[in-house]
Amino acid sequence: MRETFRTHMGWLHSWVGFLGGLVLTAIFATGTLAVFDKEITQWMQPEVVLKANSVTATPVALHHAAETMQAEQQQGRFAFITLPSWRDPVIRVLHYDGHEFIGPVLDPIDGHLFPARQTAGGQFFFDFHFALRSGPVLGCTIVTILGICLLVAIGSGIAIQIKAMWPDLIVFRPFGARPRAWLDAHLITGVLFLPFLIMITYTGTAIRARGILPPHPLLVARHSEQTAQKADDRPKGGRKAAAQQTDLLPPPLAPLIAEAKERLQTDKCELILFSKTEIRIFRSDEASLFLSRDMVSFSRADGHYLGTHIQNGAAAKTTQLIHGLHYARFSTRLLLWLYFVSGFACTVLMASGLVLFLIKRRKNAGNRIMFRLAEGLTLATFIGLPISIMGLFWANRLLPVNMPERLSAETDVFFALWALSCLHGVLFSILKKPLIGWQLQITALAIMAMGVPALDICSQTHSWLHDATRYYVLDILVFLLGLSALFSLTILKRRSV
């Protein structure tokens, strides 16, 4: 058997791409949705009324926010405040529940609490994207390793296709023979979005690189430092002691925010953290491409200025740039849409790669059980994931607003649907009826996706006249997904005849 450079790289690309791609497709899909995490959260909390002009919080609203934060801290939660921004013009008092940042939402004008339903919102996709909902250690490590796998797959893909890059860029035959159409889709998205794919994969992996690179002395030192700080910050003696120590309301926040803006030389501050002794006000992530954690500290007791922390220098700027490019929080709306479209194209790239892998091996290995399993899993990734996302939206509108443990019920619906899709796919594949499996799941996707706007209209949980853009956009996008599923179904049925 003659072994050439291209056969080596082809083998590496196929196997690393397929095995990693099964999870990476889901990571990219959820990452793409996480670009609009705030907007999805707003769609999922229709009780929150957004006023586009209210991007600055009034002193009254800040006072109410401080009270709410204090009440949260007295319950033993590490609560903090996010200030209104152009994408999310409300005040949020958030805490980390192990997966998402959730908490009460306040009006930035008068500070009243919105009776918002408990939901994971867009944060769910963010958490799944970077930790597969398996926590910051295991989940992040798996995602980072997969990031390296993707970089290897990209490199090997470039190596085998470098000579034909220009033809790949302009040739797309969607109505050609089946392998040809899938290969064209794979190549055109791969070549066209290659710079974005490399940038987003590299920055994402570099951000979490500490998870896979071996421990070193600094890590130990830092860990012990953080543990000591946490122990210092968290009151001893449990919740009772916590309540005693956070009894004092922090000083008025409005003057502190104004001073922080002046010291940081910015017009936007977004995040306010409260430790036992300090109030830390951070520069907004939207302020610049460099995602810094520049902040000003004030005393929690009387609000006097304690210090400013600004990181400059080439090394710090490099890290900030990597974070900024990946999180894209500096973006204008147009740039956010570009991230979204590029992320979607990369998801299509990976999904088409999975299908290509199966098509190429069907003739020789089609009867093997591993092939059948791979086919079922591909179906669950390709169609099952969008079905379960639609299920999450359905659950958000159908579950009672005041239901206890509502958040986990929503996410349970998501995972139950995904598991069901996986079982269904594997079963039909083992029964040697994969085409029927695909048709059934695509039908389910079309019905569920086209049902979301109808459900949104029927539930009438929000005013369609007041700031309804977020509803229109999501509903239209989901409807288009349903239409494209319907179109794919007709093509699939025509081919099966």
Partner 1 sequence: MVKPASPGTQPASVSARTKKAEKRKTVYRRIGWLACACVLAYVAAHFAVITSLQWGGEENRIAVNVGEVIATALLPLLILVAYGARTYKWGLWLALVCCGIGAVVCRGLL
- Binding site residues, partner 1, CB under 8 A: 1, 3-5, 8-9, 11-12, 148, 151-152, 155-156, 159, 202, 205-206, 209-210, 213-214, 216-218, 222, 311, 313, 315-316, 318-319, 322
Nearer to partner 1, 7 or 408 (CB): 7
Nearer to partner 1, 3 or 267 (CB): 3
Structure tokens at 110: 């008068």
Q: Which of 14, 23, 96, 4 has its CA nearest to residue 422? A: 23
Nearer to partner 1, 58 or 319 (CB): 319
Minimum distance from CB of 432 to partner 1 (Å)? 24
Minimum distance from CB of 7 to partner 1 (Å)? 9
Minimum distance from CB of 306 to partner 1 (Å)? 21
| Number of neighbours of residue 492 by Cβ within 10 angstroms | 14
Nearer to partner 1, 163 or 495 (CB): 163
Q: Which of 110, 68, 59, 120 has its CA nearest to residue 405? A: 120
Minimum distance from CB of 148 to partner 1 (Å)? 6
Minimum distance from CB of 144 to partner 1 (Å)? 9
Minimum distance from CB of 283 to partner 1 (Å)? 17
Minimum distance from CB of 97 to partner 1 (Å)? 28
In DSSP terms, which residues pair with 279 in a beta bridge?
274, 298
Nearer to partner 1, 164 or 220 (CB): 220
Q: Distance between CA atoms of 304 and 457, rounded to whole angstroms?
A: 51
Q: Distance between CA atoms of 50 and 460, rounded to whole angstroms?
A: 16
Minimum distance from CB of 321 to partner 1 (Å)? 10
In DSSP terms, which residues pair with 81 in a beta bridge?
93, 272
Minimum distance from CB of 192 to partner 1 (Å)? 22
